[in-house]
Amino acid sequence: MKDVQSEKDLRHVPLKHVGVKELRWPVELRDKEKGTQHSVAKVSLAVDLPHDMRGTHMSRFVECLETMGPIGLHDMEAMLDQLKSKLQAQKAFLQLEFPYFITKAAPVSGRTCPMDIDCIYKAEKGEKFKLRVTAIIPMQTLCPCSKEISDYGAHNQRAWAKLEIEAVEMVWLEDLAAIADACASSPVYGLLKRPDEKFVTEHAYENPRFVEDAVREIALRLEMDKRITWYRAEVESQESIHNHNAFAVVEKRWK
Amino acid sequence: MKDVQSEKDLRHVPLKHVGVKELRWPVELRDKEKGTQHSVAKVSLAVDLPHDMRGTHMSRFVECLETMGPIGLHDMEAMLDQLKSKLQAQKAFLQLEFPYFITKAAPVSGRTCPMDIDCIYKAEKGEKFKLRVTAIIPMQTLCPCSKEISDYGAHNQRAWAKLEIEAVEMVWLEDLAAIADACASSPVYGLLKRPDEKFVTEHAYENPRFVEDAVREIALRLEMDKRITWYRAEVESQESIHNHNAFAVVEKRWK
Amino acid sequence: MKDVQSEKDLRHVPLKHVGVKELRWPVELRDKEKGTQHSVAKVSLAVDLPHDMRGTHMSRFVECLETMGPIGLHDMEAMLDQLKSKLQAQKAFLQLEFPYFITKAAPVSGRTCPMDIDCIYKAEKGEKFKLRVTAIIPMQTLCPCSKEISDYGAHNQRAWAKLEIEAVEMVWLEDLAAIADACASSPVYGLLKRPDEKFVTEHAYENPRFVEDAVREIALRLEMDKRITWYRAEVESQESIHNHNAFAVVEKRWK
Amino acid sequence: MKDVQSEKDLRHVPLKHVGVKELRWPVELRDKEKGTQHSVAKVSLAVDLPHDMRGTHMSRFVECLETMGPIGLHDMEAMLDQLKSKLQAQKAFLQLEFPYFITKAAPVSGRTCPMDIDCIYKAEKGEKFKLRVTAIIPMQTLCPCSKEISDYGAHNQRAWAKLEIEAVEMVWLEDLAAIADACASSPVYGLLKRPDEKFVTEHAYENPRFVEDAVREIALRLEMDKRITWYRAEVESQESIHNHNAFAVVEKRWK
């Protein structure tokens, strides 16, 4: 059978990426506490394509994916090496988006419960391996202005912190979630009993945070971590007094 | 050209619905205050199909849609009559989902601003015309338990009321939004200045509402409206202490 | 601490459902081939609430969920019994939405690969246990009209069949997927090599199907399965000549 | 009332962006053919914030938005100037995402019908004004490999081209859509009669295009337009033989 993809292309347009997207796949992820955990990922796989090749061989991406075991920092790099070799490419790209579960203990009762965060591993390798880790962690923000100007109460809401980092070593998703929790008016939890709810309510009231405050606190902590070479942090809150969101972004200054 | 759709079908399976979906279309909607307003709708159009006809003529649905002027109660019925006639069907179905803007005045400053609600008009006509109107109105709920057990503060969050009704006369989307606003810990607004924010914060603190409370208050108001022959009301809150939602539903008992 | 939820309610409005929604949870699902498989579910849990009780105890829903092991027909019923008892309710509701992976073999090369389908288990128990299983299976449809009127080619597209059933015994998700595959112009696959792609292309061209055809074929197969007491089947195709979809629905006639 | 936002901030963390997001707003857009058209946009508005200011004044973003008339290139810049002045900022950001309707004529019958494309205007102004226009245009791709290796037929599917450009002059959304249409196996349409469907089917079969082909054709056309200073083009197809998508990306090389 003719291999149309391997035809010579005369248009002189190199492709930055060619591959597959929106592919769902069961994954096993390396986990700080328990070794590994299961999840379901949305996967993108791609390579670059030189100007003179007409097409890539799409089925090989899925074949590479089938060889993937538990996923951590080094496993991502091994996958990219395999993609480069199998697709005869100079550069390979791999992105995994997945929900990840962290076991959290309620602040008073100590009751533990899994809570989901959304994560993205985005990796590429040409000469060098590069991995960007994103974690989106739900939190509570309580408005300092509302607290200050009101005789009682203060509007608060579910918000989330989106932490994107590049690092020289593995930074666990659990570590990123802990940073977000420390910078919120209060962390959020999967399971709270009444004494926990009292604690969370009062703790949030004692720690009012604009999105501007929360994102700055996160930035201070990310700056101090010597493993992290680049970051972007965003806090977005589903304002409970509006039908739109407030947000604030910090991005690391390159030196 | 052969008309494959009109072939005889021998499988003896009548179809409840056949038509088009996920069609976006610019619409002009009848509006209580200003006559009409513009929006963009996601549209479904369908008819039933007798067991012995192989297919319908999909392009005719779009042709019908092209004749549609400003949309209110009577215009929906006229569209269904046209669909029945043009598709030679016993029953026709039409659904429009769209964002709708209501002008709201801030509670102290009186500053007005548009705020969006999500709406659905779902209509069918066999012998009789039937229209179900859905309005999803954002609101704030403040937790009575959190207020009661805490020394200060109370968790609150953005929530929404989903009101679905069937009525013998037109019930305006603006009327449904007013009902939801009256049953919330506080309405939400597009634009609030500081005196408004103080008012909203304190008002919510004075009116704590579980989702159970808010949906019951809505049910009491819908029960009293003699135009409304059926309803389903749901309140869902994006709990600010959890990463999941709480919800409560009332459905009218048939007499 | 005061139990605000347990207060007497004087509004005389019973609630149909009260509970939690949009809760993500790692699940283990009973699987026809391999015993069990892991996935991540979006969960709703609810009970009814009598007219004279103010609120439910939301944390208990999550506590029930924590006890859940591998999920099949009988496990769903056991969960509902536990919810009824723990929440002192007359009726309990449980819904799980999750991606599920089926191993499919390519038609010529025999290469196997997991492919995702979207599934919903929706159960309730008052007096009796009731379970509705939904499977959304991707497929290909090729237009009979386009084939008939064109000198060559025929437009085809990704479509999906949504099968909803109620049954007296467990009907496996794998069985529902097999029905959808048999009724498509062609099944779709996770991994195809070139001889497979030739087969799939020609097979689809030899089996043109309107959405009306595919849904009727599905209905005939569901009618013949004596375990199934009710069904609704829908086929929706992402028309490759339009930016909207075509769809057709059959619903079992009650005798 | 105390202005908490205006407090001095001592954390020395400047914010790249602070503002509002997920705000829906009715908009009037400048249109190549008809002057203007109505749509509904999802809006983000933001400014930068110096390291020593605690917060921004969120309500002013909405106040600026209220002054916005019909939207084109120059109107975006005027909005940014207003944001900078009203928020006393060095940089301002504005993003609008909206469906946009283009009237297309069917290829044989000439029947016209609106068809939706998704668009984004993303603008910023510090010293200089910068506007990135994105248009996502649905199209059909027919697989050259499938056609070549099969005795009859060829799989095809709905795809979309995502064109992102920066330009020194206004490039109309209609122009971007025309480029995408010219590079597809076939354009897609809102309304086709049978002779049109025959034409579209045969035309696609005569013009097989991988995503790699389609995106290269688009790149060639964007390269030739002297107004365009940067572009990124992506074609993504909802493969009708798989449950995942294929995609290809070209990005302009900076000189």
Task: Find the largest Cα–Cα distance for chain C.
Answer: 79
d(CA C86, CA B245): 20
User: Are B80 and B121 a contacting pair, CB within 8 Å?
Assistant: no
Q: Which residues of D touch A66 (CB under 8 A)?
A: none
For chain D, the residues whose C-beta falls within 8 A of a C-beta of chain C are 115-116, 138, 140, 142, 145-146, 149-158, 186, 188-190, 192, 194, 197-198, 200-202, 204-205, 238-244
Q: The tokens of D68 are what?
A: 């916005």
C-alpha dist (Å) from residue B99 to A62, A239, B38, B150, D23: 40, 19, 10, 38, 12
Q: Which residues of C touch A (CB under 8 A)?
A: 1, 3, 23-26, 37-40, 59, 62-63, 66, 99, 101, 113-114, 116, 190-195, 198
Using the predicted structure, report yes or no on whether residue C254 has a pLDDT greater than 60. no
Confidence of residue B70 (pLDDT cuts 50, 70, 90): confident
Are the C-beta atoms of residues D118 and D203 closer than 8 Å to each other?
no
Strands A129-142 and A228-237: unpaired
Please state, in angstroms and rounded to a whole number, the distance separating the CA atoms of residues C75 and D213.
51
Predicted-complex ipTM score: 0.95
Least confident of C70-84, C239-253, D114-128: C70-84
Please state, as a whole number, how many other Cβ atoms lie within 10 Å of the Cβ of residue A249. Answer: 23
Q: Above 90 in pLDDT, residue B78?
A: yes
Instruction: Report the first-to-last Cα separation within chain B, whole angstroms.
Output: 54
CA distances D32 to A219, B150, D35, D50, D250, Å, are 45, 59, 6, 40, 27
**One-letter identity of residue A28:** E
The answer to whether the beta carbons of residues D231 and D254 sit under 8 Å apart is no
* pTM, to two decimals: 0.97
Nearest-CB residue to D191 (from B38, B59, B194): B59
| Residue D50: Cβ within 10 Å count | 11
Q: Residue C196, Cα to own-chain centre: how many angstroms?
A: 28
Choosing among D40, D100, D198, which should be mutated to test the B contact, i.e. which has the most B CBs within 10 A?
A: D40
User: Looking at the predicted structure, is the pLDDT value of residue D187 above 70?
Assistant: yes
Task: Find chain C residues with C-beta within 8 A of D161's C-beta.
Answer: none
Judged by CB atoms closer than 8 Å, whether chains meet at D158 and C243 is answered as: yes
What gap in Å lies between CA C164 and CA C172, rounded to an integer? 12
The one-letter code for the residue type at A180 is: A
CA-to-CA distance for B98 and B109, rounded, in angstroms? 30
Given the DSSP bridges, would you call strands C112-125 and C35-49 parallel, antiparallel or unpaired?
Answer: unpaired
> Are C243 and D192 within 8 A, CB to CB?
no
Q: How far apart are CA C244 and CA D10, in angstroms?
A: 54
Q: Is the dihedral of CA A37, A40, A42, A48 positive or negative?
A: positive
Q: For residue C21, which of D92, A158, B242 has the smallest C-alpha distance?
A: B242
The span from the CA of C90 to the CA of C84, in Å, is: 6
Q: Report the C-alpha gap between C153 and C234 in whole angstroms.
A: 26
Please tell me the distance in Å from D6's CA to the nearest CA on chain B. 13
> What are the backbone angles phi and psi of residue B142, rounded to the nearest 5°?
-120, 130
CB atoms within 10 A of CB C164: 20
What's C52's DSSP letter? T
Label the pairing between strands A92-105 and D186-187. unpaired
Which of B29, B33, B56, B59 is the best residue to mutate to test the D interface, defined by the most D CB atoms within 10 Å of its own CB? B59
Partners of A3 on chain C (C-beta within 8 Å) are 194
- To which H or E segment does residue D214 belong? helix D211-224
Helix (H) or strand (E) holding A220: helix A211-224
Residue A255 pLDDT = 43
Inspect the interface and report whether the beta carbons of A18 and D145 lie closer than 8 Å. no
The answer to whether A210 and D54 are in contact (CB under 8 A) is: yes
Q: Is A26 helix (H, G, I), strand (E, B) or coil?
A: strand
Q: What is the pLDDT of residue D11?
A: 94
Q: Distance, in angstroms, between C39 CA and closest chain A CA?
A: 6
* pLDDT given at position B255: 43
C150 interaction partners in chain D (CB closer than 8 Å): 197-198, 201-202, 205
**Per-residue pLDDT at B67 exceeds 80:** yes
Residues in contact with D60: Cβ distance below 8 Å, sequence separation at least 6, in sequence order: D86, D87
Rounded to an integer, the average pLDDT of B153-165 is 98
The CA distance from B94 to B25, in Å, is 13
For the residues B112-134, what does the mean pLDDT come to? 97
- The strand pairing partners of D94, in sequence order, are D45, D123
**CB-CB neighbors (< 8 A) of C21 in chain B:** 236, 244-247
Nearest CA in chain B to A158: B240
Write the CB contacts of C196 (distance below 8 Å, at least 6 apart in sequence).
C106, C107, C108, C109, C111, C189
Q: Give the separation between CA D65 and CA D90, rounded to whole angstroms.
A: 19
Task: Name the closest residue on chain B to residue D118, using Cα atoms.
Answer: B24
Q: First and final CA of chain A: distance in angstroms?
A: 55
Chain B residues with a Cβ under 8 Å from any Cβ in chain A: 115-116, 138, 140, 142, 145-146, 149-158, 186, 188-190, 192, 194, 197-198, 200-202, 204-205, 238-244
pLDDT of D255 > 50? The answer is no
Q: Which residues of chain A have pLDDT under 70?
A: 253-255
**How far apart (Å, rounded) are the C-alpha atoms in residues D192 and A103?**
55
Mean pLDDT of C229-242: 98
- Strands D15-31, C245-251: pairing kind: unpaired
Quote the pLDDT of residue B96.
97
The pLDDT tens digits for C134-178 are: 999 999 999 999 999 999 999 999 999 999 999 988 899 999 999
Query: In the 8-state DSSP scheme, what is residue C67?
Result: T
Contact at 8 Å (CB) between C56 and C47? yes
> Which of A198, A241, A245 should one mutate to test binding to chain B, selecting the residue with the greatest count of B CBs within 10 A?
A241
pLDDT digits (tens, 9 = 90+) for D39-50: 999 999 999 999
For the segment B182-197, the average pLDDT, to the nearest whole number, is: 98
Checking if the pLDDT of C190 tops 70, the result is: yes
Chain C CB contacts of B21 below 8 Å: 236, 244-247
Q: How far is C30 from chain A (nearest CA, A)?
A: 15
Residue B254 pLDDT exceeds 70: no
Interchain CB distance below 8 Å, C62 and A191: yes
Q: Which tens digits make up the pLDDT trace of D193-236?
A: 999 999 999 999 999 999 999 999 999 999 999 999 999 999 99
Higher pLDDT pick, B254 / C244: C244
Inter-chain touch A99–C40, beta carbons under 8 Å: yes
**8 A C-beta contact, residue A125 and residue A168:** no
CB A25 within 8 A of CB C191: no
At residue B74 the predicted structure's pLDDT band, cuts being 50, 70 and 90, is confident
pLDDT category of residue D81 using cuts at 50, 70 and 90: very high
State chain D's mean pLDDT as an integer. Answer: 95
Q: Left, alpha or beta for D34 (phi > 0: left; psi -120 to 50: alpha)?
A: alpha
- Calculate the average pLDDT of chain B: 95
Residue C255 has pLDDT above 50, yes or no: no
Residue D254 has pLDDT above 80, yes or no: no
Q: What is the mean pLDDT of residues C41-68?
A: 95
Give the pLDDT score at D170.
Answer: 85
C-alpha D183/C-alpha A13 separation (Å) is: 14
Residues of D in Cβ contact (< 8 Å) with C145: 194, 197
Q: What pLDDT does residue B252 have?
A: 87
Set of chain A residues whose Cβ sits within 8 Å of the Cβ of B198: 146, 149-150
Task: Give the separation between CA D204 and CA D185, rounded to whole angstroms.
Answer: 5
Q: Which residues of A touch C39 (CB under 8 A)?
A: 26, 38, 40
CB D109 within 8 A of CB D128: no
What's the rounded mean pLDDT across residues B122-140?
A: 97
Q: What is the pLDDT of residues B33-53, one digit of tens each?
A: 889 999 999 999 999 999 999
Per-residue model confidence (pLDDT) at position B245: 98
